[in-house]
Amino acid sequence: MKIRTDLTAAGLQSKIDRLWQLSAEKIDLINKEYDNTKGTPVFTVKGKYTLRGWTEWTQGFQYGAEVLQYDATNDASFLASAKKNTVNNMASHVSHFGVHDHGFNNVSTYGNLLRLMNEGRIPENEWERNFYEVALKISGAVQANRWTSVKDGQGFIHSFNGRHSLFVDTIRSVRALMVSHLLGHNYMGENDLKTSLLERGTLHSLATAKYSVYYGEGRDSYDLWGRTAHESVFNTNDGNYRCPNSQQGFSGFTTWTRGLAWAMVGFAEQLETLPHFSDEELAPLGGRTVLEEIYLKAAKATCDFYIENTATDGIPHWDTGAPHMHKLGDYTSRTSDPYNDFEPIDSSAAAIGAQGLLRLGKYLSDKNETVAGNRYWQAGLTAVDSLFEEPYLSTDPSHQGLILHSIYHRPNGWDHIPDGHKIPNGESSMWGDYHAREVALYLHRINKNLPYYSYLGSVKGA
């Protein structure tokens, strides 16, 4: 990436405003055209959202987008729709034991709505508050139920693949446990055994930092600073780590960039979360200093890898080790090309990763590490500047997607390849569109001197 030092958050406000205008049109178009009885929309095919059965992990993005739209524009119609859709459609996600995506589905809906109430943006209502809080409490506990214990008292929230499987992307769903804990909830097991959700969320974060992120310390032949593995595989009989793997990337020894992006923003957010826990709470988990060091190392490593292995404009390909990347030559020395003949761009990784860069940059700057902080901050602005304009911003009024050139599952061949092209391009995804809105709201609030956008806004007083 060629980090632009001339960009400012305020200077991007016109692009942010344009994004919100287009966002409103896209949400209205989906609500008008999409048949929700068919299932949750996942990604577009020829510009129209469709579903792809795997797990139910994107509906929170669909309705969470309406909350974000209201937050940015004060258009009450989006708030009314978000409330109605959350009540009517999200209960099954709160009690869904079969997924590792509670932070995606429920913090994006119930959590964002509760945050608005905490900020005084929607009227205080005791029953409505209780409704949101109960949903978030239960969601965190249900997520924590997907638990695998491993060596040395560690453990992790296992993926839908089974108890052996740690996914890197779950680092951003761990926020469901943190919110539930701060709301005063615990995980209750057999014989009324009470387990701290902070403990489980922290242990999961530590396992992700240890097994999903590489640090160039000789772990294997492909150990590079900041590389991530999508999946880490464990022997559940004895708790030993076995090997890296991948579900949506090319291999366990290459870096699927959306997984990398989840780690970037996930660890940056966990750094921001640490001050909300007491020293007494953190001491049994290693202590504040140790946890900050581990999270900061993982956040810096993953953000550095992103910067080093991304095109000059900050938009990455879907996997940095994909089999035809060598045919692109030195792709990091020029702007991204979603219409190339060899390997797809994944704009959704940019939408997610940009927020990680910005949050890490701000965190370091607030710690008076201004040189490093400015580097990450400007890298985040560079990616946002590219993402919020063509060819990535979707301006076609008939296309339901907001951000173009997103990739879902390249190995399975699920992504649409337009006629006359050799690779997928031109389509959108629920997660890419949602996180573009989220990073837009993040900067919008900073520009407007509004409360800092954090998932912990759903906890009063946090």
Name the band, by pLDDT with cuts 50, 70 and 90, for residue 163.
Answer: very high
pLDDT at 121 over 90: yes
Q: What is the tens place of the pLDDT at every residue in 250-303?
A: 999 999 999 999 999 999 999 999 999 999 999 999 999 999 999 999 999 999
| CATH number, residue 376 | 1.50.10.10
Is 193 a member of any domain?
A: yes
Find where tokens 């793997």 sit. 245
Is 2 a member of any domain?
A: no
- The confidence score (pLDDT) of residue 37 equals 87
User: Rounded mean pLDDT of 166-181?
Assistant: 97
Query: What whole-number percentage of the chain has pLDDT above 90?
Result: 97
Q: What is the tens place of the pLDDT at every residue in 7-29?
A: 999 999 999 999 999 999 999 99
Domain that residue 161 falls in? 10-458
Q: What is the tens place of the pLDDT at every residue in 347-380?
A: 999 999 999 999 999 999 999 999 999 999 999 9
pLDDT at 226 over 90: yes
User: Rounded mean pLDDT of 183-211?
Assistant: 97
Name the band, by pLDDT with cuts 50, 70 and 90, for residue 55.
Answer: confident
Is 360 a member of any domain?
A: yes
Query: Which region holds residue 305: left if phi is over 0, alpha if psi is between -120 and 50, else beta?
Result: alpha
Contacts of residue 120, defined as CB under 8 A and 6 or more positions apart, other chains included, come to none
Is 5 a member of any domain?
A: no
Is 4 a member of any domain?
A: no
Question: Of 426, 421, 230, 442, which Cα lies nearest the Cα of 346?
Answer: 426
Whole-Å CA distances, 165 to 130, 197, 215, 218, 261: 34, 20, 21, 23, 19
Name the band, by pLDDT with cuts 50, 70 and 90, for residue 38.
Answer: confident
Query: Structural domain tally of the chain?
Result: 1
